[in-house]
Amino acid sequence: CIEKVDRFVYRLIAERRNSTLYSDDLLSMLIEIRDEETGEGMTDQQIRDEVFTVFLAGHETTATVMAWVWYVLDQHPEIERKLHAELDRVLAGRLPSMVTLPKLTYTKMLIEETMRYYPPSWMIPRSVEADDVIGGLPVKKGTTVLISPYVVHRHPDFWENPETFDPERFHPDKVVPRSAFIPFGSGPRLCIGNSFAMMEMQLILAMTAQAFRLRLLPSITNVKTTTMPTLRPNKPLHMMLETRTKPVSSATWLIATETGEYAVVPSEDSTTGEPN
């Protein structure tokens, strides 16, 4: 799998290097960047490594957040109704785009509250650069200090009713205390992929939730958190997929049409796994 991705990325790099057109994207930026002292550009290997860092390094944290999002929606019908209302109003059956994404305010609020309540990176290590005193305790240079977003995100000094799941606390009109919300870290060591991860999760949630409901199987009970190493559910969250439209078949496919609308198409042969 990695070899296939490697070939794909290297092909894109070669095509972009040979192109006379400039694209305002990450790949072009990496190709154009130059060392301030030597004036040399990045090698294909270096560019490939940077691309992998952005697109692959955060795959588990993103997947973990989305698992919790679906769980939350199953447990809180009123939140699911608000999400569906926004998706229906803004998208009206169309695929989300960079134009409509900023309008999905509640969608973003839901993801942010999920990351507050279930921060995937529950512990962040930092190395002390010089002797210091933290909270009255002397800390020597080179000591590893662990910062816990889980503890910060549920601290009553920063959050009202921190044990209550409430996306409204991230409403644009409200102010979140500085460094009280750190799912991607903070400061100069802020996760480089934070903007990409947020965009990715909003797109996934919008595309899926406007057409489907995910329902936790009745046999899945007593869901708790576990750390291995991300803050994930302690068991697989097996779910049933329900279409939000009238069912047309026991097996259906969601097809994106050329106009950007969704079409739920019945599969007459559910054994092949392909729509007819």
- What confidence category does residue 275 fall into, taking pLDDT thresholds of 50, 70 and 90? very low
191 in active site: yes
- Long-range Cβ pairs for the range 57-61 (8 Å, 24+): 57/193, 58/191, 58/193, 58/196, 58/197, 60/120, 60/230, 61/120, 61/121, 61/197, 61/230
- Long-range Cβ pairs for the range 84-93 (8 Å, 24+): 84/209, 84/210, 84/244, 87/206, 87/209, 87/210, 88/210, 91/206, 91/210, 93/210, 93/261, 93/262
Q: Is the per-residue pLDDT at 82 higher than 70?
A: yes
Under CATH, domain 65-233 is a member of which superfamily?
Cytochrome P450 (1.10.630.10)
Spatial neighbors of 195 by CB under 8 A, at least 6 apart, are none
Residue of 64, 170, 191, 252 marked catalytic: 191
**In the chain, domain spans:** 2-56, 65-233, 245-276
- Segment 75-102 shows an average pLDDT of 95
Name the percent of the chain lying above pLDDT 90: 66
- What confidence category does residue 255 fall into, taking pLDDT thresholds of 50, 70 and 90? very low
Q: State the residue for tokens 């860092």.
A: 53
Q: pTM (2 decimals)?
A: 0.76
Q: Is the per-residue pLDDT at 115 higher than 90?
A: yes
- What confidence category does residue 259 fall into, taking pLDDT thresholds of 50, 70 and 90? very low
What is the full DSSP assignment across 101-156? Answer: GGG-HHHHHHHHHHHHHS-SS--EEEE-SS-EEETTEEE-TT-EEEE-HHHHHT-T
d(CA 232, CA 226): 6
d(CA 226, CA 269): 39
What is the pLDDT, as a whole number, of residue 122? 94
Residue of 114, 184, 212, 230 marked catalytic: 184
Q: Is the per-residue pLDDT at 109 higher than 50?
A: yes
Q: Is the per-residue pLDDT at 269 higher than 50?
A: no
Q: Is the per-residue pLDDT at 97 higher than 60?
A: yes
Q: State the residue for tokens 């000591």.
A: 143
- Long-range Cβ pairs for the range 48-57 (8 Å, 24+): 48/6, 48/9, 48/10, 48/13, 51/9, 51/26, 51/27, 52/5, 52/9, 53/192, 53/193, 54/26, 54/192, 54/193, 54/196, 55/193, 55/196, 56/5, 57/193
Render pLDDT for 1-17 as a digit per residue (tens, 0 to 9).
Answer: 788 889 999 999 999 99
What is the pLDDT, as a whole number, of residue 47? 92
